[in-house]
Structure 1
Amino acid sequence: MRLRSLSFIVLASASLAFGAGLAPGAGFAQTPPPAAPAAPAALSDSLPIPDAPAPKTSKAWLVMDYATGQILAGENVDALVEPASITKVMTSYVIAAEIAAGKIHRNDPVRMTEHAWREGGAGTDGSYSGFEVNQTAPLEQMEIGMVVQSGNDAAIALAEHVAGSEAAFAQLMNAYAKKIGMTRSHFVNPHGLHAEGHVTTAHDLALLGRALIRDFPDAYAYNRIKEFTVGPITQPNRNLLLWRDPSVDGIKTGHTSAAGYCLMTSAKRGDQRLITVVMGDVSENQRAVDSQALLNWGFRFYETHRLYEANRVLASPKVWKGAADLVRVGVASPLLVTAQRGKYSRMKASMELPRSLTAPIAKGQRIGTVKVTLDGKVVAQAPLVALDAVEEGGFFKRLWHDLLMWWES
């Protein structure tokens, strides 16, 4: 992600290009104008972005910018699909959240129950981890077996340890999915084998991958492990891109006859991270080829900028009847935007602020909105909030300001 300070003159409803310098002390580091690009680069930047390399044989796909959550391209992103073993990313999220809450621990002994072994072990058609039936293993090892080997038996054993049963664990999955914003997903089991009503969307899965990376990076790190050994059996991670692209560090594969071949990937190049989802492809290799093409396209044609830092002063509008005459306003969290490479200088910012503000004003109170546009289209916006509280002024100041407000009106 490229960091660069953006500045704009503090005026209500003002609209102007980025890069206009503010007077010293306005809260921004001034950015010198960039050197003029060479002619070939300028010519390239003026060209339209080519269409994304759409997977020809998948049911749904997308490429998302991690920092902003913006979908750069996709098809059927909200269509219901079966997630197959990508379900286990949701299982990992629940486990990590329950560990963070202190309800379970990484060194807990997890038993491979007979139910888990029979339903998800070596005697089934699905992938398995190989932990011995009626024996225990540390929770962290069992989870790595689930993530790397895609062990259905490990997923069931973990679900039973966390919630007592698969059905109870599925309730936790759906509760956490709702918190993440996965509005169209419904989980029935922790492993992803076909079950009635066990559905999601490409968009929801991308949101899940983004949440796991953001909220629980230690749990996410299991996804880059290339192979794992349980007893005498060593199994490789089925994500072929871990071997083909050094920038890829996750996330998860999936396959059933109903779901087809699925792959959710994430890669980081420099400071930029992308997430891709390909659902219902025709082969293990094709899902990797399609995902690689989407990653290359996204990194080539898009970049993410951090426009404004949290709690930096963007404006100081006047306040009537307050103990202070001004209130500092800014954004509560960093404002980022993803746009076509080479178009940063064409972005424009505008602030919408009320014509007058009257105390009291609470810290964090929404004051207005900052919007960023590119070629007339809004590409990012965020609330402007009060960075400080402004209490009411004394009796005589309020009386005096009543008179001034009447005069100005």
Structure 2
Amino acid sequence: MSVSPPASAVPETPTGLRVRYGGGVHPAAELARGAAYELFSAEPAAGFDRDRRPDARYPYHRYAHASEVGRLPDPHRGGTGPGAERANGLGVPDSPLTAPLNRVLGWTDIHGLSQSPAAAEDPVLVSVRESATVRRGSQMVKALSAQQFAGFLLRGWLPYGFCYREYDVAHLRTPADQMLLRTDSEAGRAVPEVAYLLRWRATDPVDYVAPLAGTHRGLTTMPPHDRVGPPVLGTGFTPSGRHLIPEFVTRDFADLPLPANAALLAHTPDGDEVVLYTYQPEQRGWLRMAGPRWRHLLAAVPGVAPDQEYVSTGDAIRSTLLIGGYRGQEHEAVADPPGEFRVLAMTRAARYPVQTLTRRARYVDWRDTRCLVLREEGGWLRLRLCRPDPDNVAPLGAQCYERGVYESWAPAAEVTDDQLVDIPYEL
């Protein structure tokens, strides 16, 4: 029988942080504002991998979610407690999943329910799913392929489709771990050397919904030949044999305006997170953040020069706009959640705080199917289906470009109920 060493005998990391995990005590480093931890070990241990980084302080390490560890008193900061109760760096606390566990119902049972489409309306599972909430300022992430990364950097793509709260996936640090979050056609295939993520802050909770069987039944019944990526279970959780991860989709699969300081990230096989670019809305550009040491991480991204910054030429067509009201007039606005929403302006003196805020998008009906208009070219409309299902995908000739996202071209003369819709945000 092994006996764990007393906490006082475990060496500390430079921050002095130690945590309990799996019956032992380990030095640790906090990640993602307390959502996850990197644990270290001087000896081989179950679940720990060799740390091959040149500057490694310990020979072995692993990553764990905040819910899996117990934080010991920190002499440098004082106090204890799980990272879930701490702010995410911007004054917005992330709420953990909560489950009514007891002697009869354990974690394995909850996980089993989350992976069973038949249990989508189980009251226990529903209560667990409803405990995962998006708040204004919540950090959201979307896993990207190299091609999708290029789309955001070079072609001005906006966040849309399936995404996650960073709090729920912060422990998935390596390319192998992040494969289950991917939405592209390569998901579940060969593990790449580098994993890419888009990270942004939620402007408003109204923009995010859970892909449940009651609201997105069409996705749950989509045949394999008409979908990309893993199936949609309808439980609100992503398919996984180990993890319990609540997933979200943008409402109506709409594009969302990028808030200030969104970031394009890379994760290495050792779990290092590297901020490659950050978004500056006034310039509509991505500022390069990574130095020469990390520019090799962009080698797999098609069309990207690692030593270059990318600024919009101004002619990019955007399917959605953030509109702010100031003194009775409308202006394009910038979100810097949780608390700052201002007029889009190059000069600081003109960046007035807006008094009202809405997201504006164009909707149409095409053959009895509600769609978002992405762009218009020569009498044709590029449409994205708001509620794809097997009955409308085939008749409309819609193609699946990533998990849950179906698009098609339609003659402008055939659409009806063409209107600009404002989704109001409460300030």
Question: TM-score higher than 0.5 here?
Answer: no
Q: Give 1 or 2: higher strand fraction.
A: 2
Query: Which protein is richer in helix relative to its size?
Result: 1
Give the shorter-chain TM-score range.
Answer: under 0.3
State the structure with more CA Rg. 1
